[in-house]
Structure 1
Amino acid sequence: MAVALPTWLPWFDALAWPWALLALPLPLLMHLLPARAGTAPALRVPYAAEPLASLGTAGAAVALRAGRLLLWLAWISLCIALARPQQLGEPVTPPQQGRQMMLAVDVSGSMSETDMMLGNQVVQRLSAAKAVLADFLDRRVGDRVGLLIFGERAYTLTPITGDLTTVRNQLNDSEVGLAGRDTAIGDAIALAVKRLREQPEGQRVLILLTDGVSNAGVLQPLRAAELAQAEGVRVYTVAFGGDGSYRLFGMQIPGGDDPVDEATLRRIADLTGGRSFRARNTDELAGIYAELERLEPVAAAGAAVRPRIERYAWPLALAMLFGGLAWLLPRRWA
């Protein structure tokens, strides 16, 4: 256990092995042993015996005292180095701990419809979804996020990871039709459940964005929702896209029925403890993801910690310096 040092010591803040300082009086104890009793010095300088013998009485006495002092300083420094002095670094805040989240994005053929406004430009639904999702990811620091796309089939683009930059890049590279032209909502949910199954309970979240009706795949959406419920995965569904109207000469012309199966998406969310949303434009979609941040907040960061930096090299260097001087001193007087 590390022992904190007084605050007035400017070089070190703690000793990891303070018991090593018990070795400090060892040379004196060796002097007190019966076999060593007498006038023998506590610290001997065997390599300096012959040079000192050739010196005069005054010079020899000075050199001997200086050699003993240097050896004592070397021994003290060596003991301090053995005690592993440490210094506290700058406070570091541990990373935030958030949710284990999968994003399921529809890239079926209908996502190529150009009925969304992004800035002052008319863009495809997928382009608008990418922009909003990228902004959403920027604010999920601490979450571990995975990305899957689905159309006629469902594919995982990134596993659940804390590297949100990679997730954004993979999302940006996704194109309409990459997974087929139809929509397999059930298969997308089942694949997300499989990826989330190994994650901690209570943190498994799926956000599913689609603009159509499930018309492909092996698993029916409600059956997949039951699997998600059994595995403790909360599913938030986002029905995205226009309401069937279209633009003609700058005017919005009412169209047919809403192409999104909101009833099924709402049932999926209800079964799994999530919520269902409807976004008919980019602003509404951005508002939905802001609401998701409130429903699934990133946990607050833990208390800041100060890393311990090893500083044993400093006293070890001093021990070598003092030992070297003690070795050179008698040769200087010879």
Structure 2
Amino acid sequence: MFEFAWPWLFALLPLPWLMRLVLPAADSGEAALQISFLGDLEELARRKARATLPSWRQQTPYMLLWLLLLTAARPQWLGEPLPIAASGRDLLVAVDVSGSMDYPDMQWQGEDVSRLDLVKSLLGDFLEKREGDRVGLILFGSQAYLQAPLTFDRRTVRTWLDEARIGIAGKNTAIGDAIGLALKRLRQRPAQSRVLILITDGANNGGQIDPLTAARLAAEEGVKIYPIGIGADPEESSSKGMFTINPGVDLDEPALEEIAKITGGQYFRARDGGELAAIKDTLDRLEPVAQQPTQARPAQALYSWPLAAALLLSVLLVIRELWPNNPVQRWLSKDHFLQQHPDWRARLKRLRLRRRR
């Protein structure tokens, strides 16, 4: 189907005639002569100007040139609508980067690693494989920050996750603020595809929003939350220097379970790398939800054709002005036209006779 992308430009069609009416006549630059009957001469000059206006044959090339320029207002040929696959979900991941996430109590491939390093390794693989999903990243501590907005560029999101550092968002844990920020970003998306994966190793002790209140608001907006509590069991204490630390003592599992229950999600517990890998596989089995299908029509631009014709016509007009006796000028003259078309000469004679009668 043929159409103009900017059809409103055709409103400029009468612009040259309007400018001729509105703008004053150009000054010839000749010396002026003051005489008493100047008014009569001006009236004669106006009559002469009206009588010597260019004929339709002289105006036609310029009208055609202006029309060609307006026709170049992005004409295009639109093909048949083609469907664009839009399956998947909008998946935000909120990662706790408070100081306790630096504790090396997680086991992965026979080595002790910190909680955050394990999350970077396994969750990064999870995000990069979510083909067809929009993924985003929230980092939270004392406050919550949107590190990566929802995007199909999963590799960049993983890079930003790998660059996350302990304490970058503060020392506390603002779980409610993280949920609130995720809700703000997900509420504009289709309700069937709003998912938040919340990873933390502590209890809410910062921020402005209560986690359960934020969870209820998320449930109203159709956001499903999957909390993941990370850290070894409290009884599996490890010593660090002269102090004994229970690495999972601060984890508020009842609150995380309630958040999952309110929003229709599921709570997971990761005590080591094996359990977190199993959780990742479980989340991978979430079937994508089909979103509103979209269509696109391929467009082929055609503006080069009228522009090329306008350029060619401009060159011919310049040749006519610089070379008065050129073939183009002769072709445009009435005598040459009548010589080439004798039948029109006879028609003009008959028309003159009718007018005289």
Give TM-score scaled by structure 2 length.
Answer: 0.56
Match of 1:161 among 131, 150, 157: 150
Per-residue CA deviations over 1:31-69 (Å, capped at 9, x if unaligned) read xxxxxxxxxxxxxxxxxxxxxxxxxxxxxxxxxxxxxxx
Q: Structure 2: give runs of 5+ residues left out of the alignment.
A: 2-78, 305-357
**Which residue of structure 2 lines up, in the alignment, with residue 270 of structure 1?**
261
Assess if the C-alpha contact under 8 Å between 2:182 and 2:196 holds in 1: yes
Q: In structure 2, do the counterparts of structure 1 residues 256 and 106 end up closer, same or farther at CA, with 3 Å as the change threshold?
A: closer
1:300-315 aligned at under 5 Å gives the runs none
Alpha-carbon distance between aligned partners in 1 of 2:246 and 2:286, rounded to the nearest angstrom: 33
Partner AA of 1:206 in structure 2: L
**Which residue of structure 1 lines up, in the alignment, with residue 118 of structure 2?**
128
Alpha-carbon distance between aligned partners in 2 of 1:95 and 1:283, rounded to the nearest angstrom: 35
Q: Which has the larger radius of gyration?
A: 2
**Which residue of structure 2 lines up, in the alignment, with residue 119 of structure 1?**
109
Alpha-carbon distance between aligned partners in 2 of 1:301 and 1:197, rounded to the nearest angstrom: 16
**Which residue of structure 2 lines up, in the alignment, with residue 222 of structure 1?**
212
Give 1:198 shift. 1.7
Alpha-carbon distance between aligned partners in 1 of 2:216 and 2:161, rounded to the nearest angstrom: 27
Alpha-carbon distance between aligned partners in 1 of 2:297 and 2:107, rounded to the nearest angstrom: 48
Assess if the C-alpha contact under 8 Å between 2:180 and 2:214 holds in 1: yes
Match of 2:272 among 262, 277, 281: 281
**Which residue of structure 2 lines up, in the alignment, with residue 197 of structure 1?**
187
Assess if the C-alpha contact under 8 Å between 1:98 and 1:297 holds in 2: yes
Alpha-carbon distance between aligned partners in 2 of 1:179 and 1:306, rounded to the nearest angstrom: 45
Alpha-carbon distance between aligned partners in 1 of 2:296 and 2:210, rounded to the nearest angstrom: 49
Q: Share of identical aligned residues, percent? A: 46
User: What is the count of residue pairs matched by the alignment?
Assistant: 265
1:261 matches 2:232: no
Partner secondary structure for residue 202 of structure 1? helix
Assess if the C-alpha contact under 8 Å between 2:86 and 2:294 holds in 1: no
Alpha-carbon distance between aligned partners in 2 of 1:224 and 1:234, rounded to the nearest angstrom: 12
Q: In structure 2, do the counterparts of structure 1 residues 121 and 178 end up closer, same or farther at CA, with 3 Å as the change threshold?
A: same
Per-residue CA deviations over 1:146-195 (Å, capped at 9, x if unaligned) read 211111x2333335332222211211111111111221111111111112
Alpha-carbon distance between aligned partners in 2 of 1:172 and 1:139, rounded to the nearest angstrom: 16
**Which residue of structure 2 lines up, in the alignment, with residue 108 of structure 1?**
98
Assess if the C-alpha contact under 8 Å between 1:148 and 1:154 holds in 2: no
Partner secondary structure for residue 122 of structure 1? strand
Partner AA of 2:206 in structure 1: A
Assess if the C-alpha contact under 8 Å between 2:91 and 2:135 holds in 1: yes
Assess if the C-alpha contact under 8 Å between 1:95 and 1:301 holds in 2: no
Alpha-carbon distance between aligned partners in 2 of 1:303 and 1:120, rounded to the nearest angstrom: 48
Partner secondary structure for residue 280 of structure 2? helix
The CA RMSD measured in Å over matched residues stands at: 4.7
Q: In structure 2, do the counterparts of structure 1 residues 258 and 114 end up closer, same or farther at CA, with 3 Å as the change threshold?
A: closer
Partner AA of 1:271 in structure 2: I
Partner AA of 2:100 in structure 1: S
Partner secondary structure for residue 191 of structure 2? coil
Partner secondary structure for residue 190 of structure 1? helix
Q: In structure 2, do the counterparts of structure 1 residues 119 and 95 end up closer, same or farther at CA, with 3 Å as the change threshold?
A: farther
Q: Structure 1: give runs of 5+ residues left out of the alignment.
A: 3-88, 314-334
Per-residue CA deviations over 1:254-311 (Å, capped at 9, x if unaligned) read 9859422111101000001111111111121121122112235365998999968789
1:297 matches 2:292: no
Partner secondary structure for residue 156 of structure 1? strand
Give TM-score scaled by structure 1 length.
Answer: 0.59
1:43-58 aligned at under 5 Å gives the runs none
Alpha-carbon distance between aligned partners in 1 of 2:189 and 2:296, rounded to the nearest angstrom: 27
